[in-house]
Structures are given as structure tokens and as C-alpha cells.
Structure 1
Amino acid sequence: MSTTIAILEESGESGFRIESLMERTGISKSSLYMAFGSRDGLIAAARARQFEVMIQESIGPIRMIAEQASSRDELRNNLSLITNFVADLSRTAQRVERCAIIAGTKGRPEFSKWLAETQTRLSTEFAEIIGGAQARGFITRKHPARMIANFIQATTLGRVIVGFDLDAGPDELAQWTALANDIYDQMLFVD
């Protein structure tokens, strides 16, 4: 799978050739087709894995701060730091790749199904983190955990737009982080 992902990152889906994968790995075409059904199935599996890794990079730190927090204030302060990290424009290429993966589901029902299953699993994991913080009294229960998780993911992915704003300004990250933290404060910490 890692070689498939590497080739996709180098060449994109249109440049992906089964023959290149066979040369690099020594795996036979029949084995690939037996495992994944088709070229599209192989690409779908690789893209779903890429997608999962991208989201886990954001969810992992959130899990850590939510589980290690000993108070609502500690969670709130640490969430501000995570927001700044996740929003950094150096992550624009990753967001663009995530959008490309989502766009790649158009007209590909098998791929769409794989990606939906991956996203659902990750959203459930994120919602469980939020739910755990709610159970500890650190996050308000006025919004369902899954809606909070989905809102945060949508906001994070939406940062892709700012990566293409030539007039964003040098203090854009600080402004964005302040705005996001104000929204998160109201959503998560005000009863």
C-alpha cells in the first residue's frame, strides 16, 4: 500500500500505472486484482488510507490533550495551541490533497463507499473524544459530540481556501486562530 501511495503522490491518479507498481514491488497483476478487484479498487484503498492518515494527524493531538487535561481551563488552553498548529498554512498542500481525494469519488461509487466508511470511522473516533470530554464536564453538552467533531473537521478542511488568498496578510494565522478559538469557546465551553 505504501508504494501505491508513493506512486500516487508522484504521478497522481491519471499517471498511476499498475506496471510501475509491479516493477517496484514484484507483486503480480493477478495478486493485485485478487486483493483489490481492479485498478480503481487499489487506488480507492490507497486514497482512503492517505485520507485516514491526514485526519489522524489532527485527531491524535486532540485525543492527547482531551485525555490528559485535568480541568476545563487546561483543555481550553491546549485546544488553542492545537488550533494554531492545525490552521498553519504550511498544511495547505495536505488540505489540497484531501480535497483531491474527495473529488476523486465523483462517478466512482466503489471509491465513494470506501471513503465514506473511512470518514465515518474517523468521525466516530473524533466524536468519542469529544464525548469523553463532555462526560468529564470539560465540554458543554449543548451540542451533540458528533456535530462538534464534524464542525471542527469542516472548519479545518475549509482552511484550504485561505491557502489561495493572496491578500491574507502576514498576521492571518493569528487572526484566524483568534476567530476559531472564539467560535470554539462558544461552542465548547459556554453552558
Structure 2
Amino acid sequence: MSPKQHRGEVTVEQLLDAALRVYGESGEQGLTVSAVTAASGVSPGSLYHHFGSMDGLLTALLMRWLERLLDRMVTALEHSDSARDGVRALVEAYLAFIRDHRAAGLLLHSSRADELGMREARRIRDAQEARLSPLSAWVSGHVESGEVARLPVALLESLVLGPVIGVSRRWLTLGDVDLDAAAAVLPDRIWRSIAADPR
């Protein structure tokens, strides 16, 4: 890698890190060119050069943290022996990630993230294919083994992640949910909704 490429990568990291700090402190309304450049020490010209716009920066930030969350989820599943253990590991990993990265959690569960997901769903899925494939393969494998109910993968994803996302949003916005209690209760409840034999 040339020195110029290295400087470019360092600048991108500085901007993304600063943007998340600003977002965590001030929300989306505080995420302005001047706030991000002040927090990062990077010029506005560099921001536009690397991201094209604030929207481009925000999209890159969302994609960065989505990748990290998906990586955490895949790792959790890889260390699970059964489908039921996998559900527990997935719930625990997701909730721990949100607790550990509150600002990123706010961003990932924001209306902007929802809007981007609706508008760019196919492109996001294509960009995250390497991370989503192991999740889909895990689900399909357990459907074929007879552990998980024979339902469409999209429906199974919703049954597993819907409650976890709901609890995460509530913790992030209202703070009236105990994540440890949720991590103890949700896996068995979710398992009953997807198990082929829900005993």
C-alpha cells in the first residue's frame, strides 16, 4: 500500500470514528459537516472526497456497524452445537453488542437506518452477502435436520430477530428493559416459535 493510500484509509477511519462520536452525543440532527470535521480534525474537502456527502458518510457508517454486528452474530452461531444453542448465542451476542456499542446501536436502530434498509435493501443484502450467507446456511441446515420448523427463511429471521430488535430499540430509547433479563428469557421464547417440535 502506498503512503497516499494509507493516509486515505487513516482519514476515512478518523471521519467514521468522529461521525459515530458526534452521532452518539448529538443524534442525527447534530451530525453536520462542521461537527464531524471539528471532531476528526479532517478538512471538509477530505470528507467530500471520501464520501461525496454527509449522506454518503452516514451510509458508510451504517454499513460499517452492520458488518460488525453481522460478524458478531455469525461468530456466535459458529460456536453453537445445536439450533437451540444457536438461538441463545445469537440473542446474547446481539444484546451484548448493543450494550457494548450504544451509539452504534442507536444508529443501527434509527429511522435513517430503516429508511436506508427500505430503499437499498437488495444492495445492502448483496454487499453483506459474505456475512448473510452463513446465517442463511445455518438456518437452512437446521431446517433440513428437522430441528427448526420448515418455514421460509425470511419468516424464521423475523421470528428470531424481531423480538431482539424490539428489545434493543426499547433499551436504547426508553431504557425500561433490563438486557440481562431479556437475554435470559428471550432465547427459550424465540426457540418455541421456530422449533419443529416446540417442547
State the TM bucket, normalised to the shorter chain: 0.5 to 0.7
| 2:63 corresponds to | 48
Asked whether 1:9 is paired with 2:20, we answer yes
Q: Which letter does structure 2 place at the counterpart of 1:117? A: R
Contact 1:127 1:146 in 2 (8 A): no
Name the structure 1 match of 2:9.
none
Structure 1 length-normalised TM: 0.65
* Deviations, residues 128-157 of structure 1 (Å, cap 9, x unaligned): 32113323x053342122321233222221
Q: Deviations over 1:39-90 (max 9, x none)?
A: 322321222222232233223212x035xx3xxxx44245435434534583
Match of 1:118?
A: 124
CA contact (8 A) 2:16 2:61 kept: yes
> What is the rounded CA distance, in whole Å, between the counterparts of 1:44 and 1:156 in structure 2?
23
Letter in 2 for 1:5: L
What are the residue-to-residue correspondences of 1:164-175 with 2, within 5 Å?
164=174, 166=176, 173-174=180-181
Structure 2 equivalent of residue 132 of structure 1: 141
How far apart in 2 are the matches of 1:130 and 1:81?
Answer: 14
- Which sits farther off after the overlay, 15-24 or 151-160? 15-24
The range that moved more, 174-183 or 36-45, is 174-183
Equivalent pairs: percent with the same residue? 11
Q: 1:5 to 1:34 in 2, by over 3 A?
A: closer
1:90 and 2:96 matched: no
Task: Supply the distance in 2 between the matched residues of 1:90 and 1:32 (Cα, whole angstroms).
Answer: 29
User: Which runs of 5 or more structure 1 residues have no equivalent in the other structure?
Assistant: none
Q: CA RMSD in A?
A: 3.9
Q: Distance in 2 between matches of 1:46 and 1:150?
A: 24
Larger relative CO (CA 8 A, sep 6+): 1 or 2?
Answer: 1
Separation in structure 1 between the aligned mates of residue 182 and residue 21 of structure 2, nearest angstrom: 34
TM-score, normalising length: structure 2? 0.63
Offset of residue 20 of structure 1: 1.7
Amino acid across the alignment from 1:95: G
* Aligned amino acid, residue 182 of structure 1: R
Provide closer, same or farther for how the CA distance between residues 142 and 5 of structure 1 changes in structure 2, counting only shifts above 3 A. same
